[in-house]
Chain A
């Protein structure tokens, strides 16, 4: 099926409680072109995690909620860490 030109395909990598909530570590989704990380997070029904201190990274590098996602990127969703 031809890909919609108005969307981009991205990979989601989730950890800890978010991975459990989403049912796994890796997810492939399509989002509207020009979407910010915040819009992706909200579109996945994870809005409350932003106020809980969610950190995000694109292709392994920390980014902000206002970063625009691009075709093929990997977006990591990182809840507050709790090691040790």
Chain B
């Protein structure tokens, strides 16, 4: 079995650089990263925080499956992914995805595919708490 997967749920804090430092980049010539942050505003409202609920027993298995599919489909070498649960304040990281590959093109493709599929498949639910009230964000999958 080729490829290396590092997947984590981050209940308290997420440090994308730390995750990056722990991923296996053997035989990689490129690492493409995506980091999702909480925006400070939504429309005219100030965002106070996002609150993430998750099916914790299923979250890391789903992320691991997606990582493995990315390795198989795009031929990348290494995938590291982490997603916050709990409350995430403005400008704090929500999700981090790092994709290592011998060459950049497939790493860019795999990274975009991974965040798109995470949004459709990961068992996570997001509530936005703003200065004007609370809203569960509409889901994609």
* A residues whose Cβ falls under 8 Å from a Cβ of B: 13, 15-17, 19-20, 53, 60, 76, 78-84
Contacts and interface: CB of A to CB of B under 8 A. Distances in A.
B interface: dominant SS? mixed
Interface stretch (B39-47, B53-61, B103-111): B53-61
A61 to B, nearest CB: 11
B136 A83 contact: no
Interface of B: 36, 52-55, 57-58, 83, 94-95, 115, 118-127, 136-141
A76 B118 CA distance: 20
B55 A82 contact: no
**Overall SS of chain A's interface:** loop
A60 B125 contact: no
Contact of B95 (A13, A81, A83): A83
A20 B127 CA distance: 11
B94 A16 contact: no
A83 B126 contact: yes
B125 A82 contact: yes
B72 to A, nearest CB: 22
